[in-house]
Amino acid sequence: MDPITALILGLIQGLTEFLPISSSGHLELIKVIFQNKLIPEESLLFTIILHGATALSTLVIFRKEVFFIIKDLFKFKKSPSSSFSMNIIISMIPASIVGVFFEENISKLFTGNLILVGFMLLVTALILIFADTVKENTKTINVKNSFFIGLAQAIAILPGISRSGSTIGLAIFFKINKKEAAKFSFLMVIPLIIGSMIKSLLDFEGSFLITNYISLIIGFISAFFSGLFACKWMIAFVQKSKLWYFSLYCISIGLISIYFGFR
């Protein structure tokens, strides 16, 4: 992989991980554009590097919240931070079940299927449009709605369904404070990303002895800094109730994907 490609893929991963336009859907589109030329070892390692970069960018943005969560958990102290972390654990259950028991079936969906990606992007657009119709947002995350938000995250495993869009959108449907909805959406995925990275490394039977470390470093830096920007910007953007702007983008890319998928 050349450095320019690594830079572009890092930017796409960093931006689409937080913006409600589906990172998985865009990576499927990239597969088609680049005709999936990456060798398996390079593809897997690069994917792990990019996901690690976006997870790190989230931890940097929410470093204070994460510090208090860990502090209260080790003290076994009941507090808003410990309750928040418990809700995150509950939200992980649906996606964990889907990942463990349906991994093989899910992997079959990631084959550059432009028609599937296109229709799922249209679904994402609808979620964003309806989320903007909710005006009252005064509630907080609780056990019940964290589980349902987790279900939305599990469904977002489908390429084209935005994870951040569906989880933030559903939280807004529950009339949860928009800033808290965005924070919960971005933090709830970190344990899943880390778990997925570890599982991928343990399951991989090939070799990571590649020499193109320059591209890996460029991809990591690109994904990390674009992730920082997208995460901070998205938190501010959600509070302004302008999610439907992203729906226009999803509709456009979705229709283009469907068109080329049928060609």
3-class SS at 139? strand
**Token digits of residue 108:** 């079959």
- The first and second tokens of residue 75, run together, are 């003290």
DSSP-assigned beta bridge partners for residue 139 = 176
What pLDDT is attached to residue 179?
A: 87
Give alpha helix (H) positions in the chain: 3-18, 23-33, 40-61, 63-74, 80-101, 103-107, 114-131, 143-155, 163-173, 178-188, 190-203, 213-238, 244-262
Q: Closest Cα partner for 253 from 150, 122, 161?
A: 122
C-alpha triplet 5, 116, 157: angle, nearest 5°: 75
* Dist CA 80 CA 86 (whole Å): 10
Q: What is the pLDDT of residue 54?
A: 92
Q: Which residues contact 40 (CB under 8 A, 6 or more apart)?
A: 206
Contact 149, 111 (CB under 8 A): no
DSSP-assigned letters across all residues of 204-239:
--S----S-HHHHHHHHHHHHHHHHHHHHHHHHHHT
In the prediction, which pLDDT does 185 show?
92
Query: Would you kindly state where each structural domain of the chain is located, as residue ranges?
Result: 3-262
Closest CA to 230 of 69, 89, 81, 26: 26
Say what the pTM is.
0.86
Q: Which residues pair with 176 in a beta bridge?
A: 139
Low-confidence ranges of the chain (pLDDT < 70): 34-44, 72-81, 204-211
